[in-house]
Amino acid sequence: MGKTLFKNCKTIITCDVGDRVLYGEDILVDGNAIVEIGKGLSAEGAEIIDAKDLFIYPGLINTHHHMLQAFSRNIPEIQSYELFDWLMYLYEVWKNVDSEFVYLSSQVAMGELLKYGCTTNFDQHFAFPQGKGRDLIDRQMEAAGELGIRFNAGRSCFTRTQKNGGLPPDELGETTKQFIDDCERLIDTYHDANDFSMRQVTVAPCSPFSVDTEVMVESVRLARDKGVRLHTHLCETIDEENYCLETYGNRPLAWAHECGFTGPDVWYAHGIHFTDEEVAFLGETQTGVSHNPVSNMKLSSGICKVPLMLKHDVPLGLAVDGCGSNDSSNLLADIRVAYLLHRLNSSTQAPTGYEILKLGTNGSARILGRTDIGSLTVGKAADLFALDVNKLEYAGAILDPASFLGTIGYSRPAKLTMVNGKIVYRDGQLLGIDEEKVKAQADAEVEKIYSNL
Ligand SMILES: [Zn+2]
C-alpha cells in the first residue's frame, strides 16, 4: 500500500479529543495509517488528491445491521406494522435464505454503506435455516473482503422458537450447542483483536423473545473466555417488555443482568424503553447502546433517551439497523434524522449535529471496543470519507462544517471513501466489485426468493 496526500483540504472535521476543525491543511496517509496532518506537507511518490472543495470526515461506524434485509425491504403488505407483526411476516422470507442470498445481500448493503461514508460495519446475522449450510457468516466475511470494508460479524441465533413460546418459526431454530460451537469456530477462524483489524467477531444472541436464558449465559461464558464482545437487542418495544415480564418475571435489563449480559464489553441495539434508573445503571456498568433512529421511527418503537444517556456517560453509537426497517443502509442520512428527532423530542437538551456525528464516529468505535478508529488522528487507521461541497445547494450552508451533516445533511454519495489507507469507493464506483454484475445477480436472487414464496 502506498501513500496518499490530501492537499489543501477545505475543512477537516477531525472528531478528535480536542474537537479540532482544520481549514486548508493536508492529511498524509502512509500504508494503513494517518501519519501527518498539517499545512504544506509533501511526500515523495504519494498520490496527490486536490481537496480544496472537500470536507473530510472520519469514516462512519455502523453498530447494528441485518444485511440480509437488503432483500426484504419496502414490502407493501407490512408498511404499517410494528415489530412483532413485522417479524412474523418476514420470518417466512428468512426461512429461505441460503449462502448466495446472504453473500449478495451483504454486497448490496455494504456497498451502499461505503458509498455514504461508512468504513466499519457490524452485522448481526440470525437466520440459519436448517439444511442451508452453516457458512453464511463466512460468505459475509468474503463480501466484506472484496468490498474492502472493516467488518465485525455478530453471530446470532434463535433458540426459543414457537414450540417453546418464542416468536420465530421452528425451522429457524438452533440448539445452544450448535450456536456456541459455530461462534467458537468463527472466532478462531476470523477474529483479529489487533489494532487496524479488518475482521472481528461478536457473540450476539438475538432478542429476549427469540433466545433463552441458557444461551445468554453460555454466550457470556464464551465471549469472556475468548475476549470478544457481546451484543443483543434490548428494550426495543413495549411488546418485548411485556414478553419479558410474562416469560422471565423480570424487566428486560434485569433479565440480561442476571444472565451476566451487562458490562463494558456489552452493547444493546435500540435501548428505548429503559427507565431513568436503568439508564443510570447502564452508565455505572458502562454497558453500551446502539441508537437506530430511522428504524425506531419506521416501526413506531419509540425514542431512545439519548440526552439522558449522554449525561450518564452511557457508551453510545449510531446505526442503520437492518435495511428492512430503515429501509436502506445510509448511515450518513441517519445523522440528520437523529439530529431532527431529538430536537423535536428534547428541544434545547438535544445533541447538536456535531454531537450526533460523534456518536457515529468515536461513539460507535467505543462500543465496538476500538481505539484505533473513529477520529482523524495521527497514528490511527486511515478511515475517512470526503464530501464535495462545491455545489449550488451548499452555497451559504457551510458555516458550521462540524454540524453540517445534522443541520443541512448531504443527500448524495461521498466523493471518495478510504478504509485502512485504501480508496475503496471513488466518483460513483465501488472499486472492489463489479457493481453492474452484482446488481444483476442480486435482482435475480430477489426474483427467485419471492417467486418461491
Ligand atoms: Zn436489529
Residue 163 corresponds to which cell in the numbers above? 414450540
Distance in Å, CA 68 to ligand 1 centroid:
11
Q: Ligand 1 is a single-atom ion; what residues have CB below 5 A from it?
A: 269, 321
**Domains present along the chain, CATH in parentheses:** 3-59+374-430 (2.30.40.10), 60-367 (3.20.20.140)
Distance in Å, CA 64 to ligand 1 centroid:
6
190-191-196 Cα angle (round to 5): 110
Distances from the Cα of 69 to the Cαs of 87, 127, 310, in angstroms? Answer: 11, 11, 30
Distance in Å, CA 177 to ligand 1 centroid:
23
**Burial 78-115, CB ≥16 within 10 A → b, else e:** beebebeebbeebbebbbbbbeebbbbbbbbbbbbbbb
Distance in Å, CA 126 to ligand 1 centroid:
10
Q: How far is CA 215 from the centre of its chain?
A: 23
In this structure, the chain runs to a length of 453
Q: CB 165: neighbour CB atoms within 10 A?
A: 12
387 residue type, one letter: L
Q: 127-160, pLDDT tens digit by residue?
A: 999 888 889 999 999 999 999 999 999 999 999 9
Whether the bond between 327 and the residue before it is cis, its omega within 30 degrees of 0, is yes
Distance in Å, CA 293 to ligand 1 centroid:
12
Q: Which helix (H) or strand (E) holds 141?
A: helix 136-147
Distances from the Cα of 23 to the Cαs of 40, 89, 207, 424, in angstroms? Answer: 12, 51, 45, 25
Distance in Å, CA 436 to ligand 1 centroid:
29
Residue 204 corresponds to which cell in the numbers above? 450476539
Distance in Å, CA 36 to ligand 1 centroid:
38
Distance in Å, CA 2 to ligand 1 centroid:
38
pLDDT(449) > 90: no
Mean pLDDT of 76-100: 94
Distance in Å, CA 232 to ligand 1 centroid:
8
Distance in Å, CA 124 to ligand 1 centroid:
7
DSSP state of 31: T
- State percent of the chain over pLDDT 90: 97
Distance in Å, CA 411 to ligand 1 centroid:
24
Q: 66-82, pLDDT tens digit by residue?
A: 999 999 999 999 999 99
Q: 241-250, pLDDT tens digit by residue?
A: 999 999 999 9
Distance in Å, CA 324 to ligand 1 centroid:
9
pTM reported for the whole predicted model: 0.98
Mean pLDDT of 9-34: 98
Distance in Å, CA 48 to ligand 1 centroid:
40
